[in-house]
């Protein structure tokens, strides 16, 4: 069975098709922009939270916390599989444990006691999570911004379809 479809007004059909094609490309760009804009305050909050973690001992050094704070980054990609990730990419591979070890969601880390490989000391963190806590609080705001962008695009698509039908 063959069905033939005849388009009488090719100009308005082409205009509607072009509008939809441009929306397809602009939606990915707009969503990436919205995600980056909405997540930036979250990253600032996470960096501040890790820097504010309490320090034990006399030295009061916050060097490790500052390195972890500098390593917090955003990776956003909107394509067929939208992807938003906040990562901690430590510059030194030997410090890769630090972001997770400093977070209370995990069990800390262990180190040899004064270099003695037979005796290990368990470092445990207390207090709220510096990584997951701010992310969970920001999630509704980020989700609302994405939904607003998608609804705006849906309205644009409906307007293009109505313009084609109304000719």
What is residue 149's predicted lDDT score, i.e. its pLDDT?
82
- The mean pLDDT value of the chain amounts to 78
Across 75-103, average pLDDT: 80
Which pLDDT tens digit goes with each residue over 8-37? 556 666 666 666 666 667 777 777 888 888
CA angle, residues 129, 133, 136, in degrees to nearest 5: 150
Burial 23-43 (b: 16+ CB within 10 A, else e): beeebeebbbebbeebbeebb
- CB-facing half-sphere around the CA of 44: CA atoms within 13 A: 6
Across 101-116, average pLDDT: 75
Across 87-101, average pLDDT: 84
> If pLDDT is split at 50, 70 and 90, which confidence band does 45 have?
very high
**Would you say residue 80 has pLDDT above 70?**
no
Which pLDDT tens digit goes with each residue over 119-154? 887 777 777 788 888 988 988 888 888 888 888 878
Distances, alpha carbon 153 to alpha carbons 27, 31, 127, in Å: 7, 10, 42
**Would you say residue 161 has pLDDT above 90?**
no
> If pLDDT is split at 50, 70 and 90, which confidence band does 70 have?
very high
What is residue 38's predicted lDDT score, i.e. its pLDDT?
87
Write down the pTM of the prediction. Answer: 0.69
Distances, alpha carbon 103 to alpha carbons 11, 72, 90, 125, 127, in Å: 59, 13, 15, 7, 9
- CB-facing half-sphere around the CA of 45: CA atoms within 13 A: 15
């Amino acid at each position: 069975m063959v069905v033939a479809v005849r388009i009488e007004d090719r100009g308005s059909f082409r205009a509607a098709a072009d509008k939809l094609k441009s929306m397809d490309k602009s939606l990915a760009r707009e969503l990436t922009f919205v995600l980056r804009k909405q997540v930036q305050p979250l990253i600032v909050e996470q960096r501040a939270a890790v820097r504010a973690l309490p320090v034990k001992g006399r030295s009061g050094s916050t060097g490790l916390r500052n390195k972890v704070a500098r390593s917090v980054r955003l990776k956003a990609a909107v394509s067929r599989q939208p992807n938003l990730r906040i990562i901690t990419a430590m510059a030194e591979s030997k410090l890769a444990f630090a972001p997770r070890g400093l977070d209370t969601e995990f069990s800390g880390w262990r180190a040899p006691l004064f270099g003695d490989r037979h005796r290990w000391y368990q470092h445990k963190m207390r207090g709220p999570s510096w990584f997951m806590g701010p992310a969970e609080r920001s999630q509704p705001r980020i989700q609302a911004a994405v939904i607003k962008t998608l609804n705006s695009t849906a309205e644009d698509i409906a307007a293009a379809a109505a313009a084609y039908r109304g000719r």
